[in-house]
Structure 1
Amino acid sequence: MISKSTIDTVFETARVEEVIGDFVQLKRSGSNLKGLSPFTDERTPSFMVSPVKQIWKDFSSGKGGNVVAFLMEHEHFTYPEAIRYLAKKYGIEIEETQQSDEQKEQANERESMYLVSEYASKFFQHSLLETDEGKAIGLSYFKERGFTSETIKKFDLGYSPDKWDAFTNKARDDGYKLEYLEKTGLTIVKEDKKFDRFKGRVMFPIHSMSGRVLGFGGRILNNTKKAAKYLNSPESDIYHKSKVLYGIYHAKQAISKEDNCYLVEGYTDVIQFFQSGIENTVSSSGTALTPEQIRLINRLTKNITVLFDGDAAGTRASLRGIDLILEQGMNVKVCPFPEGEDPDSFARANSEEEIREFLEENSQDFIKYKASLLMDEAKNDPVKKAGLIRDMVNSIAKIPDNIQQEVYLQECSRIMDISDEVLYATLAQIQNKEVPSSSRQGKQKMEVVREKPVTTPKVDQLYILERNIIKILMLYGNEVEDFEDLLLKQNDDTGELILEPDVQQSKVFEKVFLDLQEDEIAFSNEDFRELYQVLINRLNTGEEFEIGNVVNELEPSQSKEITDILMQEEQYELHSWDRHDIPVKKKEQAVNQYVTQTILNLRRHLIDRKLQELLEGIRTAETEDERTDIKNEVVGFNKLRTLLSERLGRVM
């Protein structure tokens, strides 16, 4: 187990904006940073990071927390895995307490598979760089491809010995279970036989966005006709081909910085481009492009440039992926290479400056490229031309943004020399076909429903007011303020109740605690009740009170609740909370005014609830005496409510 001192050091050192910035493109928004949600498919940023508070909040999914919570949510790390990742990122040495055999046995299956995959990667690297066979076969191949020693180490390239069970036997000798060797696909088990899947291949580890080894691609070097040229790890609990992009771990920062991603076909294309200085390059690893892979890129940039091999088959395959990219609302450019060339061979033959110049000059908007390509195919055949125009409009129909659709239709009209009215009509026809008849009927029904009065959701005032008190303790708990209390006294002459001002200085948390104690107010929400006790206890110790430290020490559910409260402070400005007697602190408003207003509104709300109970009691009372007693109580509470309203008026 990782020692507490290491965990404390990690939390003190790690910066939430730096860690999340490795996965999400963040842009400044006042004192915060914002970006697209990494958990949902969205086109308008709803993901916020607070460098001051060291927390994050994703308003689209409701998730939030500290830096460790982000890694656990985004990378599916366990708590120890997240701490190890941060320690590695910031160069912190990990101190560990002794683990018992029972604790080792309890390591979950996914973690065991990750450990096996990491071990395999190191085994293949050692085999490539430290054995005679690896140097003679694997290393020679990589050198022939033009890969430098630095590049080979950067991408953790390796070699699997040309023996049936070299890796399997070594892994089992080192204590790794056959169960996990099989589940990761590294070992194939058939009856009493156990042999290596990647025997005699050069190895390309496939990393997650955080750098974890998920699986492998292996290329055979001999001319065996029965064996596939490339072989990938099978699907497993940690490796899903449709959700992984080769090179994303090494490319993510460059993609965000360049605000563009080059999409190529193979492993060596990625590596060769990276070595040439074009680091914002990823590959779908020979599989058809998927929406999940596109969304990985979408977290880092809205712009993709698809690089086509210089052959017709490659071009056709890439064109099919463009429609998927358009559906995700991304901007697509294409760049075809000269016939007989691919990104790998082109990068080997040219300098970085020449590559960048070629990409800049030859990258073109997909609509222009696809139109010119299809028109060349159609030539003067009107039937073919009509079919290809429909093909173009089909692609444009995938674009979710109406303005972009219109711009592309106009461009298509100009290139293909056809009226835009016809294209608009075709687009409408396509879109109408894509909506099922039941949905169209439902749409008509909805139009009738819209005529009915729209009811707004009821606001839970008590929940919001209790939540505000937790926020006050978090943000201002240790601040010292002058509070004006209005003491309830009886006028000696008239006998009426009056309010006399009395100013006292105290810390905010003391004021809140004493006022709630005086009125015997207990939180109705269980989470808030527990958080209130935690915060009051922490503030009462007199130690330095840092929001980030408090969040780090809370239970995950409490930590999420605190994050929600703190990060929704900005959102409250968007709602008309004043109409519901829920105060929201304005920048120009003093803390003491905000605290007093919140507590008074809470008191008034509780009185209103009590009055409702009493009025219901009058209705159900069995005798006139009971009704009279209750009416007297109502009069008393109404007087108190009037005094509270008067006091609120003075505060506001």
Structure 2
Amino acid sequence: MRIPEETVERIRQSVDILEVINDFVSLKKRGSNYIACCPFHNEKTPSFNVNPVRQIYKCFGCGKAGDAVRFVMDIENIGYGEALRYLAKKYGVEIEEQEQTPEDLLRQNERESLLIVLNFAKTFFQETLLTTDEGKSIGLSYFRERGFTNPTIEAFELGYTLDQWDALLQEGLRRGYNRDLLEKAGLILIKEAEAGGKQKVFDRFRGRVMFPIHNVSGRVIAFGARILKLDKNQPKYLNSPETSVYHKSQVLYGIFQAKQAIRQEDVCYLTEGYTDVISLHQAGIKNVVASSGTSLTTEQIRLIARFTPNVTILYDGDAAGIKAALRGLDMVLEEGLNLRLLLLPNGEDPDSYVHKVGADAFKEYIRKNSQDFIDFKASQWLNEAGDNPLKRAEGISDVCASITRIPDLLKRQTLSQRVAQVFHVSEQSVISEINRLLRKQQDQHKKDSERQQRSTDLGQRQSAPVTITPTPDEPSLEDINALLEGLNMSADGFEPSVSSTTPPAVQDTSTKLVRTPISYQEEECVRLLMNYGARELEPGITLCQYVLSELHEIEFQTQPYNLILTIFREAYSRGDILTASDFLNSKSGTSEHANDIDIQNQAIHLTTPRYEISGGWLKHEIFVPSEEEVSILADAAYRNILRIKKMMAEQRMTTLQQLLRESANKSPEEADQLLTEFMHFKRIDIEISSLLGTVISG
């Protein structure tokens, strides 16, 4: 079904980008904007910037940018329509969808289809739990035995699947879901027929209580299932296979239910099992997640880091729990998070212990018994070492190895003091050991890099094709002449002469931008147009009018800047002066120009300042001139156009120099003509340099 354009606009007007992004990452206010560590790439210093006024985001690290719809598309890896449906549901906007054509249906994203069929399965398992005799007598009884209340069962959308071969399959087919989609979602299995036999198709989950696994936005992406009857031929727990929507190393069980509490408490409790999360959540400890039956991964740690820098690992007190805690410790430190660890009394897990002592006592136990990683590791080593000095030394080295994982130098220095206190050794010896281990890591990294480079070089020599990056087209002589005829600027004022031009054909801007010296000046020109095009530099003369008149018949060499300049010219010829909003609000598939997403991304890049003036400067009466002041803005536009024309003149001079070097086969008249033209451009170059106040070369 297609969403009508008026509904799309209503959704966009209802959205608050801060609320949308805050569902996935914790934002902190800085000046008029908000910042965070980017959810799209790994970073320790925040470079992800959100502008609530323009309702856009921009990462200065990886370049990701867009509006709320684009953010949902990127973070959830879903299509445009599904992102709009997500936002409509969040803001209560009713969607009256229009019938799709066969072509629309073919374009429907498979990922969206999988999410829809997984949601169907979740609802089917819930209904089976609450409405069937088998579900109530087996599944619901089990949850009651675990102490789960109705609100808890509803919050985690728990369910049950019948002990039948194809209950889900038959219901899915009856509701119109095709078999291939059910298989891709990991809900059914297809066993190919043996010779002379018949193909077997059956449900993956049968006779099990179901734990839906949600992503950060609350969509069901997979299931964990526990069998209740004794069957040595069946695993106790069975999880969904990996699909295009489910990658277990990137998922934390309970993150959707826990994310707000994690923000509020500013700490995340990490456990191992589904029931640990559910029991603690029901007891009021809601800032808890589980690693979904997998060893802790870097991706899972980074998911936690979106919401808090503080992690407390809660593991069983047996040998396996200690081993699991130690296994995940270094990875957490490596990602720059603050880590504490807690081992529960032997024989207890978070689920059993919170039922035994209650929520308040459990919280108090965490407060009194959680340890930082130094105390935790030291206690393990000291108990094992006893009076053995070699074991103590081995323990010190092991703790120091964990410290080297921490990216923050100041933290490493502070923690070295703590190690010295715990092991009763000098701080200098600890620092020396840390430095030794760091040098060892660097040497190993260097060896690995060299080995990889040798392998890469060998592969390139054997099979890599030779590629040549094309240079921008050389401006024609007519363009240069037009350029120089336009050199009618003076430092005293403006002499605009506006005339309409025939815009060049729109070209593709989706290719990687090739940066040349002139491209930076073209970018600056477009930035000024986009941010200040409607500002008057003199009475009756806008910046847009001035710039377009001075760039009469000049085309930029860099796409997409030439495309944006063309769009400004087209609008101005109609009597309109475009603003940043006209580019920021570009909608997928609705722009009259190709690649409107590329244009939108460029607009975000050109209108989002990376830095803001510190409030401390104003406090101490240090005032920085703003480019929004008319005199500064006029000078910036004037000098920018001078630089563009100077660079175009220099390009022509370079071409003429090359032709003069090759003039041996040319007639004297041709050589003289080339030299005369070169000297003409040289004088122009000197004149512009003089106006700019730059050093003039001989």
TM-score scaled to structure 2, two decimals?
0.79
1:138 aligned residue: 139
Aligned pair 1:609/2:651, yes or no? yes
Distance 2:610 2:575 in 1: 26
- Decide whether the 8 Å contact of 1:264 with 1:270 is kept in 2: yes
Does 611-620 or 58-67 show the bigger shift? Answer: 611-620
Moved more, 196-205 or 303-312: 303-312
Three-state SS of the structure 1 residue aligned to 2:551 is: helix
1:88 alignment partner AA: K
Report how far residue 276 of structure 1 moved.
2.7
Please list, as runs of the form range in 1=range in 2, the aligned pairs for 1:169-208 lying within 5 A after superposition.
169-191=170-192, 192-208=199-215
Which one is further off, 107-116 or 360-369?
107-116
Match of 1:293 in 2: 300
Extract unaligned runs of 5+ from structure 1.
444-457, 483-503, 574-583
2:534–2:577 Cα contact (<8 Å) kept: no
Map 1:218-257 → 2, pairs under 5 A: 218-257=225-264
Q: Percent identity?
A: 41
Letter of the structure 2 residue corresponding to residue 608 of structure 1: E
Tell me the equivalent position of 1:313: 320
CA separation of 1:541/1:213 partners in 2, compared to 1, >3 Å: closer, same or farther? farther
Pair 1:278-2:285 in alignment: yes
Structure 2 equivalent of residue 489 of structure 1: none
Q: Where do 1:478-557 residues align within 5 Å?
A: 478-482=534-538, 505-517=540-552, 520-538=553-571, 547-553=580-586, 555-557=596-598
- Residue number among 591, 601, 609 corresponding to 1:560 in the alignment: 601
Aligned-residue offset at 1:206? 0.7
CA contact (8 A) 1:585 1:594 kept: no
Distance 1:569 1:41 in 2: 19
The one-letter amino acid of 1:73's match is D
Q: Conserved in 2, the CA contact under 8 Å of 1:55 and 1:548?
A: no
Instruction: Indicate yes or no: 2:4 matched with 1:3.
Output: yes
Code of the residue aligned with 1:41 in structure 2: it is N
Residue aligning to 1:124: 125
C-alpha contact 1:263 1:283 (8 A) present in aligned 2: yes
Query: Matched residue of 2:565: which SS?
Result: helix
List aligned pairs for 1:248-397, cutoff 5 A.
248-349=255-356, 352-397=359-404
Counterparts of 1:318 and 1:463 in 2: how far apart (Å)?
52
Q: Secondary structure at the match of 2:286?
A: coil
Equivalent-residue separation in structure 2 for 1:437 and 1:90 (angstroms): 52
RMSD: 3.0
Q: Quote the offset at 1:120 in angstroms.
A: 0.7
Which amino acid is the alignment partner of residue 14 of structure 1?
V
Compared CA separation, residues 642 and 331, structure 1 to 2 (3 A): same
Structure 2, gaps ≥5 residues long: 193-198, 451-513, 615-624
| Partners of 1:477 and 1:539 within 8 A in 2 | no
Residue type matched to 1:364 in 2? Q
Of 464, 469, 476, 2:520 maps to 464
- Residues 1:111 and 2:112 are matched in the alignment: yes
Partner of 1:76: 77
C-alpha displacement of 1:166: 0.9
Q: 2:637 aligns with which of 586, 595, 617?
A: 595
Offset of residue 338 of structure 1: 2.9
Other-structure match for 2:471:
none
Name the residue aligned to 1:578: none
Instruction: Give the superposition deviation at 1:530.
Output: 1.6
What amino acid maps onto 1:598 in structure 2?
N
Q: Secondary structure at the match of 2:355?
A: helix
| 8 Å CA contact 1:509, 1:536 repeated in 2 | no
Aligned residue identity for 2:647: H
Deviation per CA, 1:320-343, whole angstroms, max 9, x where unpaired? Answer: 111111122221111222333322
Mapped to 2, the partners of 1:22 and 1:508 lie a distance apart of 40
Aligned length: 603
Question: What whole-Å deviation, never above 9, does each CA across 1:543-582 have from its counterpart, x for those lacking one?
Answer: 7966345323252222222222223564999xxxxxxxxx
Asked whether the equivalents of residues 118 and 221 of structure 2 are also in contact (C-alpha less than 8 Å), the reply is yes
TM-superposed CA distance for 1:648, in Å, is 4.8
- Deviations along 1:318-366, one digit per CA (max 9) or x if unpaired, are 2211111112222111122233332223333555544433333322211
Q: Is the 8 A contact 2:568 2:577 kept in 1?
A: no
What is the Cα deviation at residue 48 of structure 1?
Answer: 1.4
Which whole-Å CA distance do the structure 2 matches of 1:413 and 1:343 have between them? 33
Greater CA drift, 559-568 or 293-302: 559-568
Shift of 1:242: 1.0
Is the aligned partner of 1:211 residue 2:218? yes
Q: How far is the alpha carbon of 1:522 from its aligned partner?
A: 1.0
Q: Following the alignment from structure 1 to structure 2, what is the Cα–Cα distance between the partners of residues 80 and 353?
A: 45
CA distances 1:36-90 after superposition (whole Å, capped 9, x unpaired): 1212221111221222222222222222222222222222111112111111111
Q: For the structure 1 residues 597 and 94, does the alpha-carbon distance in structure 2 shift closer, same or farther, using more than 3 Å as the test?
A: same
Q: Distance in 1 between matches of 2:68 and 2:445?
A: 45
Give the letter for the 1:292 counterpart: E
Change (3 A) 1:409 1:13: same
- Contact 1:305-1:335 within 8 A present in 2 as well: yes
Single out whichever of 543-552 and 134-143 deviates more from structure 2: 543-552
TM-score, length basis structure 1: 0.85
Q: Distance in 2 between matches of 1:316 and 1:26?
A: 34
> 2:545 is aligned with what amino acid?
E
- The letter for the 1-side match of 2:35 is K
Deviation per residue, 1:404-424 (Å, 9 max, x gap) = 233323322221223444444
Q: Distance in 2 between matches of 1:506 and 1:209?
A: 51
- What secondary structure is seen at the aligned counterpart in 1 of 2:540? strand
CA distance in 2 between counterparts of 1:521 and 1:85 reads 45
- Aligned-partner Cα distance in 1 for 2:166–2:304: 38
Secondary structure of the 1:49 match is strand
Equivalent residue letter for 2:98: T
